[in-house]
Amino acid sequence: MVAAYTNGSGMILIGLGSNVTGPWGTPRQTLERAFAALGEPPLGLVAASAIIASEPWGNKDQPVYANAVARIRTRLQPVELLSHLRQIEREAGRQRRERWGARTLDLDILDYNGLKLNKTAGQSTDANLVLPHPSMHERAFVLKPIAGIAPRWRHPVLGKTAKQLLAGLDTGKGGKVLNGNGKETA
């Protein structure tokens, strides 16, 4: 039951990213279709952030990303949700080839009602599921959209809001958030 996973944050946040054209269209069109998919049962879309452009994370030799965050509701357990998100990625043409490589669609569970899962502690039944997302607090392209749709959200481990985490972010890390003209934004 989902209630067993709630520790007070009460939010399920999904990170969305795309930087290559695929079956669903351009990266922006792909994110718009992904928002629609996140609104279909067994999920429900509660809020969708603005779509922003950001520099690639990890492998810098690839196109600029379109990024966003969605707040959803579901009765799926975290591992079931991850499986469902991977199915949406496949429908959008995602092929997992390289870490931090270009992709048609990337969907990450950022926070699941404040649940803390750590694979090294044996708490996760899926080797790829760690909650909260282990790098979200370092990524401006994740924190800025969260601040827009969930200003009261707090990081389950660090206890800070997205705005507080953004303020403490090293400007050389986290991928720069770009405006539509490819210029860095504040």
Catalytic site residue from 71, 103, 139, 154 = 103
Which pLDDT score is estimated for 183? 46
* Interatomic CA distance for residues 5 and 168, integer angstroms: 29
Predicted model pTM: 0.86
* Interatomic CA distance for residues 183 and 186, integer angstroms: 10
Closest by Cα among 79, 58, 77, 64 to 17:
64
- The vertex-129 CA angle with 147 and 142, nearest 5°, equals 20
* Interatomic CA distance for residues 65 and 56, integer angstroms: 6
Catalytic site residue from 28, 73, 90, 106 = 106
Residue 35 DSSP SS3: helix
Give counts: helices (H), strands (E), the chain. 4, 6
Which pLDDT score is estimated for 8? 42
Which pLDDT score is estimated for 178? 53
Tens of pLDDT, residue by residue, the chain (186 residues): 333 344 345 699 999 999 999 999 999 999 999 999 999 999 999 999 999 998 887 777 889 999 999 999 999 999 999 999 999 999 999 887 777 678 899 999 999 999 998 765 444 455 578 999 999 999 999 999 999 999 999 999 999 999 999 998 865 555 556 554 444 444
Which pLDDT score is estimated for 95? 82
Asked if 103 is an active-site residue, the reply is yes
CB atoms closer than 10 angstroms to residue 85: 23
Catalytic site residue from 28, 61, 90, 94 = 94
Angstrom CA distances, 64 to 28, 110, 178, 179, stand at 11, 21, 9, 11
136 burial via Cβ count (<10 Å: 0-12, 13-18, 19+): buried
Name the helix (H) or strand (E) containing 112: strand 106-112
Which pLDDT score is estimated for 94? 87
Which pLDDT score is estimated for 171? 58
Which pLDDT score is estimated for 57? 74
Asked if 90 is an active-site residue, the reply is no
**Structure tokens given for 114:** 């404040």
Asked if 61 is an active-site residue, the reply is no
Catalytic site residue from 33, 71, 97, 108 = 108
Are the CB atoms for 130 and 91 separated by under 8 Å? no
Which pLDDT score is estimated for 55? 87
- CATH number for 2-178 (one of 1.20.120.160, 3.30.565.10, 2.40.50.140, 3.30.70.560): it is 3.30.70.560
Is the Cα torsion angle 95, 100, 104, 108 positive or negative in sign? positive
Q: Residue 20: what residue type?
A: V
